[in-house]
């Protein structure tokens, strides 16, 4: 690893490759987050190279109006140039595949704004870490672990953190066996894809007769499904930035009027509310932050992540999941938790970028 970081482009501004879109059900969520980051990044410090990945997996440099990202009209012949990555650890370069020929463009760091599969799961991180390019956010292993609800829970449990009772099934698991094990957990319970985000494929099941249908939906998003205990209480979240030294946002609280915080509620809040700071005593808030920090470190997180937990009716704290690339619009939970702690949105963006450089220097 280099002793000091030097911009590859030779300029004082650091050149940031912001990657958005992707082959994921959360493609449109990525567009919203990326648009917000691009609009609020400190342009006196950073030069942006916008890399869009279409739903079919094609990579392009985008040079059009920024509003086309938020409206999902960015992918067109006028604004896009096919782009590839130069497989050279010393170069840190993209290859623009223009009609007039191939042009090389240096980058200093990659900021993947790719929610869910094929972006938040260690795949994009592995690609650029192979090429020794600093990547904003969590690395390969932590990204993969946090995306896997079952393995993340197992590691947290080994550290003494409470987790919901659960079991994992595959497509060929006998339904009778599933029903018997679900009965032991008790209804209501949750059926979730093991590796998916934004509550895609998640269902709250109140009776055995609903179980098979919920499983069928969950299997649309992953090969494995987790059957999980319902924790009576409410969800809280903790925004964390840092590698070794951690900066914590204020915790938030999700107030529900529906059965759970599904995709629609996460992005519309039609029947829900998010309270920042959470309406809990300070002693409980500090305990939640402590547990979140333990989980963050146990799962090897770095850069930034949002740790989601449940506060049960009896006051116990249960681990839910870690989002290694949480929503990043001005109204998203992570920036708002940081804002409540006195850290503005532009400062958060600069902070997570600089953490990638700090890690590179290490």
pLDDT digits (tens, 9 = 90+) for 2-58: 333 456 666 679 999 999 999 988 999 999 999 999 999 999 999 999 999 999 999
- In the chain, residues under CATH classification 3.30.470.20 are 145-163+231-361
The CATH fold assigned to 14-135 is: Rossmann fold (3.40.50)
Task: Say if CB 189 and CB 205 are below 8 A apart.
Answer: yes
CATH of 166-229, picked from 1.10.357.10, 2.40.50.100, 2.50.20.10, 3.30.1490.20, is 3.30.1490.20
Band of residue 196 on the pLDDT scale cut at 50, 70, 90: confident
Alpha-carbon distance of 343 to 72, in angstroms, equals 30
**Bond into 134 cis (ω within 30):** no
Task: Say if CB 136 and CB 109 are below 8 A apart.
Answer: yes
Alpha-carbon distance of 307 to 292, in angstroms, equals 6
- Which phi and psi (to 5°) does residue 31 adopt? -60, -45
Q: For residue 188, give both structure tokens.
A: 């209501």
pLDDT digits (tens, 9 = 90+) for 212-249: 999 999 999 999 999 999 999 999 999 999 999 999 99
Q: For residue 174, give both structure tokens.
A: 């006998």
H or E segment and range at residue 311: strand 303-312
The CATH fold assigned to 145-163+231-361 is: D-amino Acid Aminotransferase; Chain A, domain 1 (3.30.470)
Task: Say if CB 65 and CB 76 are below 8 A apart.
Answer: no
- In the chain, residues under CATH classification 3.40.50.20 are 14-135
pLDDT digits (tens, 9 = 90+) for 247-267: 999 999 999 766 555 555 555
Alpha-carbon distance of 62 to 47, in angstroms, equals 14
Task: Tell me 158's DSSP state.
Answer: H
- In the chain, residues under CATH classification 3.30.1490.20 are 166-229
The residue length of the chain stands at 362
């Amino acid at each position: 690893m280099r002793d000091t970081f030097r911009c590859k482009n030779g300029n004082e501004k650091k050149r940031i490759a912001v990657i958005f879109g992707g082959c994921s059900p959360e493609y449109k969520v990525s567009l919203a987050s990326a648009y917000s980051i691009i609009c609020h990044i400190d342009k006196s410090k950073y030069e942006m190279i916008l890399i869009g990945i279409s739903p079919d997996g094609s990579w392009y440099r985008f040079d059009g109006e920024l509003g086309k990202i938020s409206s999902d009209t960015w992918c067109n012949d006028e604004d896009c140039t096919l782009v590839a990555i130069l497989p050279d650890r010393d170069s840190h370069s993209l290859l623009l595949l223009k009609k007039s020929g191939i042009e090389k463009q240096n980058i200093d760091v990659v900021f993947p704004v790719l929610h869910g599969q094929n972006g938040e799961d260690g795949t994009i991180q592995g690609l650029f870490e192979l090429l020794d390019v600093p990547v904003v956010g969590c690395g390969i292993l932590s990204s993969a672990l946090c995306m896997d609800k079952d393995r993340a829970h197992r590691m947290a449990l080994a550290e003494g953190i409470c987790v919901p009772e659960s079991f994992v099934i595959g497509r060929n698991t006998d339904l009778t066996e599933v029903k018997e094990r679900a009965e032991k957990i008790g209804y209501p319970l949750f059926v979730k894809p093991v590796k998916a985000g934004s509550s895609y494929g998640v269902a709250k099941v109140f009776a055995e007769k609903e179980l098979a249908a919920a499983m069928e939906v969950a299997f649309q998003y992953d090969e494995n499904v987790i059957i999980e205990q319902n924790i009576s209480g409410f969800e809280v979240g903790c925004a964390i930035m840092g590698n070794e030294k951690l900066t914590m946002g204020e915790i938030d609280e999700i107030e529900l009027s529906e059965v759970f915080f599904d995709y629609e509620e996460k992005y519309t809040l039609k029947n829900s509310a998010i309270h920042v700071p959470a309406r809990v005593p300070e002693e409980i808030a500090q305990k939640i932050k402590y547990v979140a920090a333990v989980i963050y470190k146990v799962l090897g997180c770095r850069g930034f992540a949002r740790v989601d937990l449940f506060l049960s009716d009896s006051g116990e704290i249960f681990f839910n999941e870690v989002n290694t690339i949480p929503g990043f619009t001005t109204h998203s939970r992570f920036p708002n938790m940081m804002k409540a702690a006195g850290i503005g949105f532009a400062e958060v963006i600069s902070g997570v970028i600089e953490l990638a450089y700090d890690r590179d220097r290490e």
